[in-house]
Chain A
Amino acid sequence: MATTPETPVAEVTNAKSESSTFAGPNEPTPVMPYAANFAIAPLLEPRLEEGARDRTMILNMGPQHPSTHGVLRLVLEIDGETVLRVVPDIGFLHTGIEKTCEAKFYQQVVPMTDRIDYLCPMTNNLCYCLAVEKLLQLELPPRAQYLRVLLNELTRLQSHLVWLGTHAMDIGALTVFLYCFREREELLKIFEHVSGQRMMGSYFRVGGVSMEPPVDFYERVQNLLNIMPSKIDEYQNLLTGNPIWISRTKGVGHLSAEDAIALGVTGPPLRASGVDWDLRRDMPYSGYENFQFKVPISNDCDVWARYVIRMDEMRESVKICQQALDGMPGGPLKADAPKVVLPDREVMKTQMESLIYHFKIVTEGFAVPAGEVYQAIESPRGEMAYYVVSDGTAKPYRVHMRNPSFATLQAVDKMCAGRLLADVVAVIGSIDIVLGEIDR
Chain B
Amino acid sequence: MQDAYDKAAVLAKYGANPAIQAIQAAQPDALLDAKFDRGELTLKIAREHIRAAATLVQKAGYNFLEDVTCVDYYPLEPRFQVIYHILSHRLKARVRLAVPVESIDPEVDSITPVWPSADFYEREVFDLFGIRFGGHPNLRRIMMPDEWEGHPLRKDYPVEGYR
Interface residues of A (CB under 8 A from B): 1, 17, 19-24, 27, 29-30, 32-36, 38, 40, 90-91, 94, 96, 98-100, 102-103, 134-135, 137, 261-264, 275, 277, 282-283, 371-374, 376, 383, 385, 387, 389, 397-398, 400, 402, 406-407, 409-410, 439-440
Contact = CB atoms under 8 A, between A and B. Distances in A.
A35 B127 contact: yes
Interface stretch (B10-18, B20-28, B43-51, B148-156): B148-156
Contact of A91 (B66, B142, B147): B142
Contacts of B115: 262, 264
A25 to B, nearest CB: 8
Interface of B: 37-38, 40, 42, 63-67, 69, 71-72, 74-75, 83, 85, 87, 89, 92, 94, 96, 103-104, 106, 115-117, 119-121, 127-128, 130, 132, 139-153, 156-160, 162-163
Contacts of A398: 71-72
A40 B147 contact: yes
A283 B159 CA distance: 35
Given A29-B156, A389-B71, A262 B116 contact: yes
Given A22-B157, A402-B67, A410-B120, A373 B142 contact: no
Contacts of A374: 40, 67, 85, 94, 96
Contacts of A23: 156
B40 A373 contact: yes
B71 A264 contact: no
A99 B117 contact: no
A291 to B, nearest CB: 18
B85 A19 contact: no
Interface centre among B65, B74, B87, B158 (most CB of A within 10 A): B87
B65 A264 contact: yes
B159 A40 contact: no
Nearest to A1: B149
Given A34-B130, A264-B117, A372-B42, 18 more contacts: A17-B149, A19-B163, A22-B158, A30-B103, A30-B104, A32-B151, A34-B149, A35-B146, A36-B149, A99-B152, A100-B159, A134-B38, A137-B38, A282-B92, A376-B66, A383-B66, A398-B71, A402-B69
Contact of B37 (A91, A100, A371, A376): A371
A22 B163 contact: yes
A275 B89 contact: yes
Contacts of A373: 38, 40
A135 to B, nearest CB: 7
B119 A410 contact: yes
Q: 10 closest pairs, A vs B, by CB?
A: A264-B117, A402-B67, A94-B143, A91-B143, A103-B159, A400-B69, A40-B146, A22-B158, A398-B71, A30-B103
Contacts of A34: 130, 149-151
Given A263-B117, A385-B67, A410-B116, A38 B147 contact: no
Contacts of A94: 143-144
Nearest to A258: B63
Contacts of B94: 374, 376
Given A134-B38, A261-B63, A410-B119, A439 B143 contact: yes
B69 A387 contact: yes
A440 B128 CA distance: 12
B20 to A, nearest CB: 18
Contacts of B67: 374, 385, 387, 400, 402
Contacts of B71: 372, 389, 397-398
B120 A21 contact: no
A91 B64 CA distance: 25
Nearest to A39: B140
B119 to A, nearest CB: 6
Nearest to A27: B75
B152 A21 contact: no
B83 A387 contact: yes
